[in-house]
Amino acid sequence: AQSVTQLGSHVSVSEGALVLLRCNYSSSVPPYLFWYVQYPNQGLQLLLKYTSAATLVKGINGFEAEFKKSETSFHLTKPSAHMSDAAEYFCAVTSDTGRRALTFGSGTRLQVQP
Amino acid sequence: GAVVSQHPSRVICKSGTSVKIECRSLDFQATTMFWYRQFPKQSLMLMATSNEGSKATYEQGVEKDKFLINHASLTLSTLTVTSAHPEDSSFYICSAPSMGRVNTEAFFGQGTRLTVV
């Protein structure tokens, strides 16, 4: 079984400040990990993914995440927040075995203050 | 990248009627598609796995007679909400996984906002 825990349902940062969204996972098999962003009433957009290659993954819009097996974490960061980053962010896990459906975390709403 | 198209994006229906949602993979074949449901301010929960040429697999607690899934071809899966009630109002999203082992990724449709009145 796989699961994802996102610490903090709401995160508020100032424009230009560091963004840190936390994600911890649990998986009995090597995981594939993803971060998605969702704007209101829209589908999901992939920010980045970890699929057992480099542990530091760079994504779109300046986001990156680091896979740390020892900490079972895959935190999302961005050095400088923009107003346009305000959205809901979901961490998700799957594996290359089984049915490969994604298991999502509960989501973190990012607010960016001017 | 691969594209999954979901239609309609919004639908309002009366209680007791049925609504069909389509999910198409536009530039790749998908033998499997997943249907998720998202309640307001909540995460996505897997409802069922749609399998081309065979019966869908439903998650525990999901009524298969209420949420009919048909995966008629390698590019189309449909979800029909039968005899809809207000509590079925939600955001429904489909996805299709990529087939490559290394590039495992799910491609998502735009979602369908269903409102039952």
Q: Determine the residue of chain A that is closest to B51 in CA distance.
A: A99
Which residue in the set A42, A46, A101 is minimally distant from B34, CB to CB?
Answer: A101
Q: Which residues pair with A49 in a beta bridge?
A: A34
> Are B101 and A34 within 8 A, CB to CB?
no
> Are B44 and A94 within 8 A, CB to CB?
no
The pLDDT tens digits of the residues spanning A33-68 come to 999 999 887 888 999 999 877 899 999 999 999 999
Work out the percent of chain A whose per-residue pLDDT is above 70. 96
The pLDDT tens digits of the residues spanning B37-95 come to 998 878 899 999 999 888 999 999 999 999 999 998 999 999 999 999 999 999 999 99
A→B contacts (Cβ < 8 Å), by residue, are 32, 34, 36, 41-44, 46, 49, 51, 90, 94, 96, 99-107
Judge whether residue A1 has pLDDT over 70. Answer: yes
CA A36 to chain centre: 6
> What is the pLDDT at residue B2?
66
> What is the pLDDT at residue B17?
97
For residue B69, give how far its alpha carbon lies from the nearest alpha carbon of chain A (Å). 16
> Are B111 and A103 within 8 A, CB to CB?
no
> Are B43 and A96 within 8 A, CB to CB?
no
Q: Which two tokens stand for residue B62?
A: 């999901």
Average pLDDT, chain A: 92
A63-93: b (≥16 Cβ within 10 Å) or e: bbbebeeeeebbbbebeebeeebbbbbbbbb
> Are B6 and A43 within 8 A, CB to CB?
yes
> What is the pLDDT at residue B72?
86
